[in-house]
Amino acid sequence: MRLPDLKIPNGQTNGVPIDVAEIDELTIYGPAALTGVISTEVSPDGGTTWYPYAGAPAINVRVTYSTIHAHKMRLVSTLAEGAERVFPVHGSSLVTT
């Protein structure tokens, strides 16, 4: 399923978070140009506290994560991005009844 895009606004290092509470696996696609090195952070409490996503590789072209145990996710750049960066996201969830 298509999820909201992850975005890093122009001139910023911290991205806009999205909700991943019900997502078991997601794939993030990187844009053509990046200013800094992009990493992933997750929040277990809805966006108050942020932690690096353990073992997550830097995002450039595409990265897939599985078994996400977080409420929110955002991207972080090592440098202020020179333009708004948009990262399309696709995810799936396991529904049990």
| Residue 51 belongs to domain with CATH number | 2.60.120
Within-domain flag for 26: yes
* Domain, as residue range, for 78: 2-92
What Cα–Cα distance (Å) separates residue 70 from each residue in 12, 63, 84, 92?
Answer: 23, 17, 25, 15
Q: Which residue type occupies 23?
A: I
Q: Which residue type occupies 34?
A: L
Within-domain flag for 68: yes
| pLDDT tens-digit readout, 15-74 | 999 999 888 889 999 898 999 989 999 999 989 999 998 767 677 778 888 878 899 999
The total number of structural domains that make up the chain: 1
Within-domain flag for 10: yes
Helix then strand count (H, E) for the chain reads 0, 8
pTM above 0.85, yes or no: yes
Residues 16/92, Cβ–Cβ less than 8 Å: no
Within-domain flag for 97: no
